[in-house]
A and B are shown apart, each in its own frame.
Chain A
Amino acid sequence: MNYINCGNFKTSYEKDAAIYQTTFSKICIYSFLIGLFVLPFFLNSYLLYIMNMIFISVIAAVGLNILTGFTGLISLGHGAFIGVGAFAAGYLISKFSFGFFIIIPLAAIITSMVGVIFGTPSLRLKDLYLSIATLAAQFILEFIFIRAERITGGVNGMPVDAPVFFGYTIDNDFRFYFFSLIYTIIMVTAAKNIIRTKIGRAFVSIRDNYIAAETMGVDLFRYKLLSFAISSFYAGVAGALWAYYVRFITPEHFTINVSIQYLSMIIIGGLGSILGSIFGTIFMVVLPELLRHIIGIFSHYLPVLEQIFPAIREAFYGLVIILFLLFEPEGLARRWNLIKAYWKLWPFSY
């Protein structure tokens, strides 16, 4: 669904695929970015932490959306791929004295190679069958994290040194905010552009009808693997950032729950939408924290709540997701477009 202003018509495909549809949207996006760079000066360390978690998760969610939303390949192994990125980064940091600008891409490349290996079954498998194959990837990788003690440190985990940027150690939330923000901007812009190229169109055609895509000359195997590679690359960057942020990696973090959480992020946000991945991530990161604070306030007046809350929290969380799927099946991205359209015509609709 597209809502476009009256009189704003396009005369070429380039214009239709442009990132900035109008000058106004360009101004909005740039001022939003500037706002993001100014914001940390007004936030305390807890809110900075939430922002950092959002940034890291956005990168991983965008990666999963490229695979699941755009190419139509369901992956239940994204959490483990993030883990590969984190452990690869941790291992490289402990062995070599490279800066983060080499470590992060290297870790991401390693992750994307692992992703390609586990993506190979996608040639023969589709839909639910593929999701089970990627589920296997999740468990195999988790097992490797625990048992490959020489590389990953096993269940005892692995400490990681903070990144250093020209003499500045990025060891607090404030500094890390800029670090992760810049990576997020780079990765999101890259994703947006991948989608606009031939590769992106091939992905979408595979998702919509793979037989038609093949007859049109799209090399299925190549593009499916490429999708896995790109998606895992994103997971790798997110994992490496997570390693740098927490500075301690344990296999207990990269479980199937994480994979499912990322899937719900992109479903809530909107499959096949970069903006949707961002909305979905914000929603999933902020909701549990918000719930906790609301209950915290109410339990001052009603102490019973404090007793019941732990039991109902997960259920409530699930309920919110179900309601979302019922009333907003196309995700937050569509709601955003509807809101935009409403204000475009306000106060005089046609």
Chain B
Amino acid sequence: MRKIFLVIMMLLGLNLFAAETIKVGALVDLSGGTADVGKPYADGIKDCVKWFNENGGINGRQIELLIVDYGYKIPNALAAYKEFKMKKVVAIHGWGTGDTEALTKFVAEDKMPYVSASYSEHLADGKKKPYNFFVGASYSDQTEAALKFVKDKGGKNVAFIYNNTGFGRSPFFPDGENAAKKLGLNLVDKQVVDLKALDATAQMLNLKKSGAQYAIIQETYMATSTILKDAKKNGLNTRFIGLNWTFDKPLIKIAGAASEGFYGVSPFAFWDEDNNEGIRFLKQLNKKYNPSIQEREVNYVQGFASMYVLLSAIKNVKGKITGEAIKYSLESMKNFNTMGLTPPVTFTKDVHKGVRAAKIYEIKNGKIVPVTGVITLD
């Protein structure tokens, strides 16, 4: 047994680089339940670090990115976190809701700034979760935007579709329910569809019976396409609105014609928005780094933007780079410009959600078209 440990130690030793670099950890999912969105996201993170390093790094120091694929499993996330800590990373870019929650206590104790790809509203509380941040509009805010949109369209009866995980329930209970009540909408149905579901006929028939005009979906591409296909098969008149993880090109590819007329709430810029400064920049960068890939998912943009914010915050630190200094630097970001990849990013001492605006898009003839301007959320 000890021999194995010696081997592990040696292997770890080999991995250690010169001390001059700034180490940043990244927890990504390339093989687990959310790998469909996790892979492009991880590419975004990597390219962002590469670009920073090519342009002088952080005040002359190179960034060393330690990437761990944790397969969407909490114990693996813990193991990776302990390893990051041992290798003395200055900040971590994390991933899902469950694992981010599980690490909250540790990151607060170790003063480790932790930017997650989970936009759960209660990670945004700077008092309770002092070291958790995210660059995005919270799920609850997105739901509220969707509900307002429904009201503007004259809708009355709404339904929620989610999966029974922290990620799935976060936008609706209790925030989404309260928002619906406040806006005077009737919440007529709640349906559970698993993240990897390939059949949602029973749920769709229930939804049909409930008479919901609009249904808000919190899933990833896979389950969303199942929902849309089965809704079409069963002749539902319900219009669907997806939150940010449901909505982009891959969905159109999987769901095909069933995705026609699907609405999506997203605070991020899509790859086709050629008039967006950030997208133009990313297209150039992508041509240089990955000439074989012509098109990128919105998750790539998310990953890039999120890492861009974190690295910029580290860059802005005056003096020694410590967890506290990075937290302070993040919290002093006011209307930080991400080249238009997201609306301007603002963190305060108490509110750790970076983005408070989103747009609603619709899929028309296989293209993503904005149907509203920027909606400000609070």
Residues of B close to A293: CB separation below 8 A: 8, 11-12, 15
Binds A, one of B134-142, B162-170, B367-375: B162-170
Given A146-B164, A252-B74: A310 touches B69 (CB 8 Å cut-off): yes
**Nearest A residue (CB) for B68:** A292
Stretch at the interface among A62-70, A113-121, A191-199, A281-289: A281-289
Q: Give min CB distance, B229 to chain A, whole Å.
A: 26
Question: Smallest distance from the beta carbon of B3 to chain A beta carbons, Å?
Answer: 12
Within 8 A of B (CB), among A169-212: 171, 173
- With A49-B79, A50-B79, A297-B11 already in contact, the answer to whether A250 and B31 are too (CB < 8 A) is no
Interface size on A, residues (CB 8 A): 40
Of the residues A49, A250, A313, contact of B98 by C-beta under 8 Å: A250
With contacts A53-B75, A173-B82, A282-B1 taken as known, whether A252 is within 8 angstroms of B11 at the C-beta atoms is no
Interface centre among A143, A293, A313 (most CB of B within 10 A): A293
User: Does A34 belong to the interface (CB within 8 Å)?
Assistant: no
A247 to B71, CA, bound (A): 21
Q: How far is the CB of A315 from chain B (nearest CB, A)?
A: 10
**What's the nearest-Cβ distance from chain B to residue A90, in Å?**
13
Given contacts A252-B166, A310-B30, A45 and B78 within 8 Å (CB-CB)? no
**Contacts A49-B78, A154-B169, A250-B101; A297 near B31 (Cβ below 8 A):** no
Q: Tell me whether B125 is interfacial, beta carbon within 8 Å.
A: no
Contacts of A294 in B (CB 8 A): 11
Q: Name the segment of A3-11, A92-100, A128-136, A155-163 touching the other chain.
A: A155-163
Q: Which of B5, B9, B105 contacts A159 (CB 8 A)?
A: B105
A30 within 8 A of B: no
> Which residues in B have their C-beta under 8 angstroms from that of A282?
1
Assuming the contacts A45-B86, A50-B79, A286-B4, asked whether A155 and B170 have C-beta atoms less than 8 A apart, the reply is yes
Q: A56 — nearest CB in chain B belongs to which residue?
A: B75
A310 to B28, CA, bound (A): 11
Chain B 1-21 against A: per-residue CB contact (8 Å), 1 yes, 0 no? 100110111011011000000
- Which residues in window 78-111 of B have CB below 8 A to A? 78-79, 82-83, 85-86, 98, 101-106, 109
C-alpha spacing A250/B122, complex, angstroms: 15
C-alpha spacing A293/B86, complex, angstroms? 15
Q: A171-B109, A248-B105, A293-B12 are in contact. Are A310 and B166 (CB under 8 A)?
A: no
B339 within 8 A of A: no
> How far apart sit A43 and B12, CA to CA, in the bound complex (Å)?
12
Kindly provide the distance from the CB of B302 to the nearest chain A CB, expressed in whole angstroms: 19
| A159-B109 Cα distance, complex, nearest whole Å | 14
Check A157–B166 contact: CB distance below 8 A.
yes
**A156 x B122 contact (CB < 8 A):** yes
A294 to B15, CA, bound (A): 10
Contact between chains at B9 and A47 (CB < 8 Å): yes
Interface check B58, CB cutoff 8 A? no
**Contact across chains for A253 and B15 when beta carbons are under 8 A apart:** no
Complex Cα–Cα for A11 and B11 (A): 50
- Chain B residues positioned under 8 Å from A215 (CB to CB): none
User: Known contacts A292-B68, A297-B11: does B105 contact A247 (CB below 8 Å)?
Assistant: yes
The answer to the question of B35 belonging to the interface, with a C-beta cut-off of 8 Å to chain A, is: yes
A235-294 contacts to B (CB < 8 Å): 246-248, 250, 252-253, 257, 282, 286, 288-290, 292-294
Q: Can you show 23 pairs from A to B with CB atoms below 8 A apart?
A: A44-B86, A45-B82, A45-B86, A46-B82, A47-B8, A47-B9, A49-B78, A50-B79, A53-B75, A155-B165, A155-B169, A156-B166, A156-B170, A159-B105, A248-B103, A248-B105, A250-B98, A282-B1, A289-B8, A290-B8, A293-B8, A310-B35, A314-B71
- B interface residues, Cβ below 8 angstroms from A: 1, 4-5, 7-9, 11-12, 14-15, 30-31, 35, 68-69, 71, 73-76, 78-79, 82-83, 85-86, 98, 101-106, 109, 122, 164-166, 168-170, 173
* A interface residues (Cβ-Cβ under 8 A, vs B): 43-50, 53, 143, 146, 154-157, 159, 171, 173, 246-248, 250, 252-253, 257, 282, 286, 288-290, 292-294, 296-297, 309-311, 313-314
Listed from nearest, the 6 A-B pairs whose CB atoms lie closest are A310-B30, A310-B31, A252-B98, A49-B82, A155-B166, A293-B11
